Chain A
Amino acid sequence: MMHLTLYRGGRAPVPISQDDFETWDSVADSIEDLVSREYEDKLDMLAFAPHRLREPYRNLANVIEVTMMVIDVDVCDANKLARYLDTLGIDALMYGSPSDDLTKSNERRVRVVAPTDKPIDVASCGPCRLSFAEALGLYPGCGVEGALDASRLFFAGRLKGTPPREVWRFKANE
Chain B
Amino acid sequence: VTLKVDDLPAPTLDWKGTHAKRTPRPGTSPHLARAHALAERLEPSVSGHDGDNSLFKAACELATVLHEDADAIETVLLETYNPRCQPPWPGVKIKREAERAAKREDAPEMRWARRHASFLPEPAPAPVFVTSGDIIDWNAPEQPIDWYCKGLSIAPSERKITIIGGDPGSGKGPLADYLATCFALGLDVFNAFPVKQCNVGILDFEGARLTARRIRSHVRGLGHEPAELTGRLIVRDTEPSEMIEIGWLHDWIAGANIEVLIIDSYMSAMACSDADPNSPEYAALARALGALKIVAIAIAHARKRGADRRGDRPSLGDIAGSYALGGMAATAIAVWNPDDEDRMLCRIGCMRAPDEPFATIDVRWTKGGAEDTPLWIPKLLGTSTRESREARADADLRKANDITLSKHTLKIMRHMALNPATPQSVNAISKSTGIHHRYVGLVLGAMARAGYAYHDADGSGRGAGYYTLDAEHVVSDIMIRDGEAMIAPEPEAGEHLGKFRKPST
**A126-148 vs B, Cβ < 8 Å mask (1 yes, 0 no):** 01101111110101111111100
> Looking at chain B, what size class is its interface with the partner chain?
35 or more
Interface of B is mostly: loop
**B5: shortest Cβ distance to chain A, in Å?**
5
**Among the listed A69, A84, A106, A146, which residue makes an inter-chain contact with B24, where contact means beta carbons less than 8 Å apart?**
A106
**A58: shortest Cβ distance to chain B, in Å?**
21
**B225-240 vs A, Cβ < 8 Å mask (1 yes, 0 no):** 0000000000000000
**A23: shortest Cβ distance to chain B, in Å?**
11
Give the CA-CA distance A73 to B13 in the complex, in Å: 16
Q: Is A91 interfacial (CB-CB < 8 Å)?
A: yes
**B1-22 vs A, Cβ < 8 Å mask (1 yes, 0 no):** 1111110111111111011011
Q: Is B117 interfacial (CB-CB < 8 Å)?
A: yes
Q: In this complex, what residue of A is CB-closest to B26? A: A139
Q: Is the CB of B111 within 8 A of A137?
A: yes
**Segment with Cβ contacts to A, from B120-128, B176-184, B306-314, B406-414:** B120-128
Q: Is the CB of B10 within 8 A of A90?
A: no
**A51: shortest Cβ distance to chain B, in Å?**
14
Q: Is B25 interfacial (CB-CB < 8 Å)?
A: yes
**A3: shortest Cβ distance to chain B, in Å?**
15
Chain B CB within 10 A, most for which of A75, A117, A140, A142: A140
Give the CA-CA distance A91 to B4 in the complex, in Å: 12
| CB neighbours of B386 from chain A (8 A) | none
Q: Is the CB of A89 within 8 A of B13?
A: no
Give the CA-CA distance A122 to B22 in the complex, in Å: 25
**Among the listed B4, B22, B115, B117, which residue makes an inter-chain contact with A141, where contact means beta carbons less than 8 Å apart?**
B22
| CB neighbours of B109 from chain A (8 A) | 87
| CB neighbours of A142 from chain B (8 A) | 24-25
**A132: shortest Cβ distance to chain B, in Å?**
7
| CB neighbours of B459 from chain A (8 A) | none
**A109: shortest Cβ distance to chain B, in Å?**
11
Q: Is A61 interfacial (CB-CB < 8 Å)?
A: no
Give the CA-CA distance A32 to B18 in the complex, in Å: 30
**Among the listed A75, A116, A141, which residue makes an inter-chain contact with B29, where contact means beta carbons less than 8 Å apart?**
A141
| CB neighbours of B129 from chain A (8 A) | none
Chain A CB within 10 A, most for which of B10, B14, B29, B67: B10
**Among the listed B5, B24, B31, which residue makes an inter-chain contact with A128, where contact means beta carbons less than 8 Å apart?**
B5
Q: Is the CB of B5 within 8 A of A130?
A: no
Q: Is the CB of B121 within 8 A of A134?
A: no
Given pairs A115-B3, A117-B2, A139-B67, 11 additional interface contacts (CB within 8 A): A24-B2, A87-B108, A89-B1, A90-B1, A117-B121, A118-B6, A131-B10, A135-B117, A140-B15, A141-B22, A144-B15
Question: What are 26 sample pairs from A and B whose C-beta atoms fall under 8 A apart?
Answer: A75-B22, A87-B112, A89-B120, A89-B123, A90-B1, A90-B3, A114-B3, A115-B3, A117-B4, A117-B5, A117-B6, A118-B6, A127-B11, A128-B5, A130-B13, A131-B10, A134-B11, A134-B13, A135-B115, A137-B67, A137-B108, A139-B13, A139-B67, A143-B22, A145-B15, A145-B18
* Nearest 8 Cβ contacts at the A-B interface: A172-B1, A139-B25, A140-B18, A130-B11, A141-B23, A145-B19, A131-B8, A115-B2
